[in-house]
Structure 1
Amino acid sequence: MEYEQMIATVRQRADLGENEAVRSVQAVLSVLGERLAGQEADNLAAQLPERLNTSVTRNPQGRRWDIGDFLKHVGDREQVANADQVRLHAQAVLRTVAEALNDDERHDLLAQLPGGIIDLFGVPTPRG
């Protein structure tokens, strides 16, 4: 998926303007990358448009955030205080990310996340 298509998809799904969609994508990818352990953040970044590579934070140990912590950090980075809006934006971004990844990478990514965060992707829970 190309950068412009990702931003346009997030804009449409979350009813955001261009700048707000970019800020939302960057915030969600940053927090998601920080949550992932090992090389998973690098693997994620490699499948995203090049302009978004630096948005994915690398943290080899990975944070143990649950859904509440995850959304709080997204809201802080996005500078959005309304919890419902933060959830809507995160869902829009993560659904779009899920569509941009190949099946193996999507499976590996979701395998590192707790159920509450997986639910934001709008895809079936990985097995095995």
Structure 2
Amino acid sequence: MNYDTFVDQVAQRTSTSSARAVELTGATLETLAERLTGGEALDLAVQLPEPLRLSLRPTPGTEAAHRFGAAEFVARVALRADVSEPAARNVVRAVFTTIREAVTGGEFDELVVQLPRDYRDLVEPAMAPGATLRRR
């Protein structure tokens, strides 16, 4: 999936502009980079379009996964994206669904395995049949 398609899918799923979708995606990916090990973040990054890879680049502070639950994940995305927590929850679901569509080889499943059970509400919509956005 190319960058424009990724952003378009997130924009459609969040009912926002492409520019805002870029911000929302960045907030989600930066938070995801904190939650994943550096190696898993890099594995995911190589399958995403180039501009999105920067948000997942591990730093010395993010090489080890930070242990925080789904509520904290949503709160961090809300703070970064300047949205309410209910809106951030929808953003995270939209970005996870788009990631699932963009990556191959079971990479999304490997990502999900690193997340605790309380993330189920955020990732299951991405895994559900029919989660793929139908193009008009």
Same fold (TM over 0.5): yes
Structure 1 unaligned blocks of 5 or more: none
Q: Which whole-Å CA distance do the structure 2 matches of 1:10 and 1:64 have between them?
A: 26
- CA displacement at 1:83 relative to structure 2: 1.5
Change (3 A) 1:51 1:38: closer
- CA displacement at 1:45 relative to structure 2: 0.5
Query: Percent of pairs identical after alignment?
Result: 34
- CA displacement at 1:5 relative to structure 2: 0.4
Contact 1:3 1:51 in 2 (8 A): yes
- What is the TM-score of this pair, normalised by structure 1? 0.89
Change (3 A) 1:38 1:52: closer
Q: Any runs of at least 4 consecutive aligned residues in structure 1 with deviations exceeding 3 A, and if so which? A: none
Contact 1:34 1:57 in 2 (8 A): no
Q: 1:70 aligns with which of 69, 73, 78?
A: 73
Partner of 2:114: 112
Contact 2:45 2:57 in 1 (8 A): no
- What is the TM-score of this pair, normalised by structure 2? 0.84
Partner of 1:101: 103
Change (3 A) 1:42 1:118: farther
The count of corresponding residues between Structure 1 and Structure 2 is: 123
Q: 2:87 aligns with which of 55, 79, 85?
A: 85
SS in 1 for 2:66: coil
Query: What amino acid maps onto 1:61 in structure 2?
Result: A
Deviates more, 1:7-16 or 1:111-120: 111-120
- CA displacement at 1:57 relative to structure 2: 4.5
